[in-house]
A and B are shown apart, each in its own frame.
Chain A
């Protein structure tokens, strides 16, 4: 099948719930399900020459979109075979490569379940935002009681990769219309009429999908990695979790259950066109790892072509022997550390024509001044507290009162107050305080007021 690669850029936050429930704890997807893209294209269902083949035959497969690391490197759901020693998460092991002796040595193992990895084993986590919402009570012009809910959304700005597989039998006109419809679609996910759900989809005509499959390995043990959810059906067409239905003729003894790591889920899809829920689906989750023994070339080929149901929606995509499942033990490639901005808090001397920026700069500079005064006051108290231990709180209160009087000669008045009176200050105390007042060049009045408040009297300790 031909593979068409698209990039999906999030222009706003995107809400992707994993369930159609509207109450209770709602889990959220960490990928964009292929059904979203199928739905976008299906808006022009009647314009296709052969709609049935495009949407129902599995000959066009809208895959899941995965986040791109640094907007270019494809990622894969962390395989459930990745384990590490409990409390020791540096060294990662592939579960299916461990021997009975390894299990004895390593002790209790813990499975990794979240995040994505690149081919080079760099870990990527999806960044979410949360906001609280509520319905509106028009009568009383307030939030409607008992209607509070929250949206957890994938943050805007991230880039995702979508691959659509198209069979050779699809007519070029239909393929062209599909590409055009995807590229002109701009809404995705829940609540897409306001705030959320804006995307830009671009077809990369000359880009091929990354190949991570190591094909030249013997067939006596094949490792399957579920790059999408897998919905298996039994002989009667009923949903099942039994792995023997992966391909025709697969026997129980060919499945290495002791090396297989799968997780399962159920969900009920919602069909927007029909405005109703479909039948519940049972799925093997993305990231599951299945090990098969002694399978034939024909079986392998059948698995490569996609397994189970809902292939049009991207289900059943299996990668055989991916490179990241071949190593026994490894450590994740280290991500470049984020640059930590230093909070230097310097005054900004530049002037701006934008009144908002100038207002914020003025506020910023005022804060810097205040912090500097506070530091000067703290330094003064630290250095001279003992020197002024005989001064009463009431005297500091009077000094503060004079400083607050807003008179131009308040410094002279303070000098007069501390230089005379019933409790005459000692000469060295007067000199120290006067020197401090004269030394501080920012705002003498603020400095003295703050100092008088913070100094405390001899009875305060």
Chain B
């Protein structure tokens, strides 16, 4: 079966591309060929696996996510992307640049309480959005466990312990 979900972000979020943008940005977010942000399927898979492992169901984890080089997982995790209609509107109106902001931060010098020299950095972040994605080839009997795993994910991406990336998964009832 295919399990479809909505992923709602409630804060700025940053899924890094691993690339910087010269002097302007220290880290840019990952974007598709239309300059739209997305959450890579590998990230969804990694985070949901982490949550799945807390459910104490080894069969579910090994079947759906794979068994560390012994067996390939049955499920396919797509990227979580903007709804197709929303994405089309954004592209046709050329609004992509409005999806992003820049956040600057520094490190505080503990001895004197001021910003440490050369610690200023700027990262690109995405405004709160609603994305959608799917998990294909999910065995029917693991639907509930997978739904629980997804719902346990509360934040993702860079600085998710420092204010970024608060999110929630909503699994579609009518699959």
Q: Write the residues of chain A forming the contact surface with B, with a CB cutoff of 8 angstroms.
A: 12, 127, 129-133, 136, 138, 141, 148, 150, 155-157, 187, 191-198, 341, 343, 348, 352, 354, 356-357, 359-361, 363-364, 367
Hey, which chain B residues are within 8 Å of A357, CB to CB? Answer: 86, 89-90, 93, 95
B89 touching A352, Cβ below 8 Å? yes
Bound: A195/B33 CA distance, A: 15
Shortest C-beta distance, A83 to chain B (Å), equals 33
Hey, which chain A residues are within 8 Å of B95, CB to CB? Answer: 357, 360-361, 363-364
**Do A356 and B44 contact each other (CB < 8 Å), given the known contacts A132-B17, A132-B18, A198-B76?**
no
Shortest C-beta distance, A42 to chain B (Å), equals 15
Q: Write the residues of chain B forming the contact surface with A, with a CB cutoff of 8 angstroms.
A: 16-19, 30, 33, 40-42, 44-46, 50, 53, 66, 72-73, 75-79, 82, 85-86, 89-90, 93-95, 98-99, 127, 129-130, 161
A363 touching B40, Cβ below 8 Å? no
Q: What are 23 pairs between A and B in contact, CB < 8 Å?
A: A12-B78, A127-B33, A131-B40, A132-B18, A138-B53, A141-B161, A148-B18, A150-B18, A187-B76, A191-B42, A192-B76, A193-B76, A193-B77, A194-B76, A195-B77, A195-B79, A196-B41, A198-B76, A198-B78, A356-B82, A356-B86, A357-B89, A357-B90
Q: Which of A192, A194, A360 contacts B99 (CB 8 A)?
A: A360
Hey, which chain B residues are within 8 Å of A133, CB to CB? Answer: 18, 42
A193 touching B50, Cβ below 8 Å? no
Bound: A247/B127 CA distance, A: 64
Closest 3 A-B residue pairs measured CB to CB?
A: A132-B18, A195-B41, A194-B41
Hey, which chain B residues are within 8 Å of A354, CB to CB? Answer: 85-86, 89
Bound: A193/B76 CA distance, A: 5
B98 touching A136, Cβ below 8 Å? no
Hey, which chain A residues are within 8 Å of B72, CB to CB? Answer: 193
Bound: A98/B95 CA distance, A: 53
Assuming A132-B18, A157-B33, A367-B98, what are 9 further A-B pairs, CB within 8 angstroms? A12-B78, A131-B40, A193-B77, A194-B76, A195-B41, A198-B76, A357-B86, A360-B99, A361-B93
Q: Which of B33, B42, B90 contacts A194 (CB 8 A)?
A: B42
Q: Which of B33, B79, B161 contacts A155 (CB 8 A)?
A: B33
**Do A131 and B93 contact each other (CB < 8 Å), given the known contacts A138-B50, A193-B45?**
no
Bound: A95/B129 CA distance, A: 56
Secondary structure at the B interface, as helix, strand, loop or mixed, is: mixed
A131 touching B17, Cβ below 8 Å? yes
Hey, which chain B residues are within 8 Å of A359, CB to CB? Answer: 127
Bound: A157/B41 CA distance, A: 17
Bound: A22/B98 CA distance, A: 38
A364 touching B98, Cβ below 8 Å? yes
A132 touching B19, Cβ below 8 Å? yes
Bound: A193/B135 CA distance, A: 10
Bound: A193/B85 CA distance, A: 26
Q: Which of A131, A194, A364 contacts B18 (CB 8 A)?
A: A131
Hey, which chain B residues are within 8 Å of A361, CB to CB? Answer: 93, 95
Shortest C-beta distance, A411 to chain B (Å), equals 31
B40 touching A193, Cβ below 8 Å? no
Hey, which chain A residues are within 8 Å of B93, CB to CB? Answer: 348, 357, 360-361, 364
Hey, which chain A residues are within 8 Å of B30, CB to CB? Answer: 131
Shortest C-beta distance, A139 to chain B (Å), equals 11
Bound: A198/B85 CA distance, A: 22
Shortest C-beta distance, A11 to chain B (Å), equals 9
A360 touching B98, Cβ below 8 Å? yes
Of chain A, the residue at the smallest CB distance from B15 is: A131
Of chain A, the residue at the smallest CB distance from B39 is: A195
Bound: A308/B127 CA distance, A: 57
Hey, which chain A residues are within 8 Å of B99, CB to CB? Answer: 360
Bound: A352/B85 CA distance, A: 12
Hey, which chain B residues are within 8 Å of A193, CB to CB? Answer: 45, 66, 72-73, 75-77
Hey, which chain B residues are within 8 Å of A132, CB to CB? Answer: 16-19
A129 touching B73, Cβ below 8 Å? no
Hey, which chain A residues are within 8 Å of B89, CB to CB? Answer: 352, 354, 357
Bound: A348/B127 CA distance, A: 20
Shortest C-beta distance, B25 to chain A (Å), equals 15
A194 touching B45, Cβ below 8 Å? yes
Bound: A137/B22 CA distance, A: 28
Shortest C-beta distance, B29 to chain A (Å), equals 11
B129 touching A356, Cβ below 8 Å? yes
**Do A194 and B86 contact each other (CB < 8 Å), given the known contacts A12-B78, A138-B50, A364-B95?**
no
Hey, which chain A residues are within 8 Å of B85, CB to CB? Answer: 354
A363 touching B130, Cβ below 8 Å? no
Interface centre among A148, A156, A194, A197 (most CB of B within 10 A): A194
Hey, which chain A residues are within 8 Å of B40, CB to CB? Answer: 131, 194-195
Bound: A136/B50 CA distance, A: 9
